[in-house]
Structure 1
Amino acid sequence: MKILQLLGHELRLLLVATQFLTRLPVPVLSHYQPEWLQQSARYFPLVGLVVGGLTAGVFALLFWLFNPWVAAIGSTAFSIRLTGAFHEDGLADTCDGLGGGFTRERSLEIMKDSRLGTYGTLGLLLALALKIALLASLPLLWALIALLLAHGFSRFLSIILLNFMVYGGEVEHAKAKPLAQQLGGQQATFALFTLLPVLLLGFWLLQWPVYFWLLPFGLMLLACYYMARLLHQKLGGFTGDGLGATQQLTELAFYTGAAALWL
């Protein structure tokens, strides 16, 4: 009975993570508890794999019907629709806040403003343009694997910030409050293990030496480290928007490394 209760609770957490990160329909959760969101963070990478898998399917279909550019644009648009531009919104707000604010208080004030500024517009447009160009430059199989791994591991690196950083926003900010607690090491380890099957699948399909993977994953780690330092210096810790920006930047870093291997 306890095992069934445990499995039921884990399923609820997976549904919470899916509901939080995507627009996918999920059953209505009765007796919802705010702490479930913080606990569900361990399933964020798994939800990322779902998003990456569905996006890869759209990419493959459009690649077959049209060409790589249509596939890259269409699949990117699909992923934005699938997630409700959740992470892209975080990237734009972070660019506006950190670019236009000279103090922590002013940066947080700008990031809470729903209006899009110059820094946010330029940052978002440049990120999307680069993402599309990089995906269009990849061979089909590598593009599909890259979409899976980038979506999954970028969300893993985002939640790693929950484990090593304190919350830097305003605690009363309702959207970020449930995630304002640090993520435990066990949750981070659990999240990593959800990604291993797809990583091993990529190794098997591409048959590359292990050192080939150092470039895309190394760039992801550098991007994550950059965001951690930036958020620490500017805000004193992570915010919900900062996590979204970290996801976008590390995803883009993986595509950059993947494309560089084909030059």
Structure 2
Amino acid sequence: MTPRADILKDVVADLRIAASFVTIMPVASSKPSGDGAIARATWALPVAGLLVGLAGALAYKIAIRLGLAPNLAALLTLATTALVTGALHEDGLADTADGLGGGYTRERKLEIMRDSRIGTYGVCALILSFGLRWSALVAIASPWGVMLALIAAHAASRAGVPAFMSLVPPARRDGLAASAGTPPGRSVAIAFAVGTLALALALGPAKALVGLVLLSIAGLTLARLAIRQIGGQTGDILGAFEQACEILILLVAAAFLHAGG
């Protein structure tokens, strides 16, 4: 096999790993998941996010074509993206809210985050997440604008995950974050570039810059909170990070994109 064919095979394998990592699509790669394979494949997370955004945009377009109002179309859109991802990130957000908000010690917080049951903090976090995203999509209203916003939000929200994993150590020796490994600098850089490109193309350079600043603030805030309270990041923390970034980008899009067309 030629070097070019080997590179293409690795790229496809990474894309399949990323897609299986953040969605329920049956695209698991035959490439071994050990030996840092997941960490190396994190460059493709924003690409997988783009697919999730397109699925949501398609659901919105179909709902509008069927004559549904934007508020109902937006609700179906969020249901679609949650279904495609298996509500993985929402689960992480709820567990993070329960753990960081409900425990008094590091050990208790981590124990709560591993508990499959949802508490008051988790319920409130999910209500805020769905409410803010729904409101943003309703404010944008136009199918074209919603598509751009969803692509930007789902790609950019995952583009920062490799950097977050690289800069914030795992809180546990076991678990998703620890087993995934630390993404290499190349994967971090490619993911950042893909996410930034998606933001710029969907929202324009100026709005993309606003989005990047907000995402950086959100990432630094959550990283500081996670390190102080539980000693680092977990899979749940990464889910909460994705949700926070997704919400922020949709709000930025709602503030700048106008309805119509």
- Name the structure 2 match of 1:121: 123
Instruction: Deviation per CA, 1:189-238: give whole Å up to 9, x if none.
Output: 111333455345325xxxx5x43444333322222222112112112221
Distance 2:28 2:157 in 1: 26
The correspondence for 1:243, drawn from 232, 238, 246, is 238
Q: Flag the 1:200–1:62 CA change in 2: closer, same or farther, 3 A.
A: same
Give the TM-score normalised by the residue count of structure 2: 0.89
Q: Flag the 1:71–1:32 CA change in 2: closer, same or farther, 3 A.
A: same
CA contact (8 A) 1:159 1:243 kept: no
- Name the structure 1 match of 2:84: 82
- Name the structure 2 match of 1:234: 229
Distance 1:46 1:28 in 2: 16
Matched, 1:156 2:151: no
Structure 1 gap segments, 5+ residues each: none
Matched, 1:50 2:51: yes
RMSD: 2.1
Alignment of structure 1 residues 172-183 onto 2, 5 Å: 172-173=174-175, 175-179=176-180, 181-183=181-183
- Name the structure 2 match of 1:258: 253
- Name the structure 1 match of 2:15: 14
CA contact (8 A) 1:216 1:255 kept: no
CA contact (8 A) 1:91 1:248 kept: yes
Q: Flag the 1:253–1:32 CA change in 2: closer, same or farther, 3 A.
A: closer
1:34 positional shift = 5.3
- Name the structure 2 match of 1:92: 94
Distance 1:186 1:152 in 2: 18
Structure 2 gap segments, 5+ residues each: none
- Name the structure 2 match of 1:166: 169
Instruction: Deviation per CA, 1:103-158: give whole Å up to 9, x if none.
Output: 11111111011111111111112211121111111142222111001100000122
Instruction: Deviation per CA, 1:17-52: give whole Å up to 9, x if none.
Output: 111210112266265535322221111111001111
Give the TM-score normalised by the residue count of structure 1: 0.89
Distance 1:32 1:234 in 2: 30
1:218 partner SS: helix
% identical aligned pairs: 33
Give the length in aligned residue pairs: 255
Q: Flag the 1:28–1:214 CA change in 2: closer, same or farther, 3 A.
A: closer
Distance 1:59 1:91 in 2: 24
Q: Which amino acid aligns with 2:43?
A: R
Q: Which amino acid aligns with 1:147?
A: L
1:176 partner SS: helix
CA contact (8 A) 2:95 2:118 kept: yes
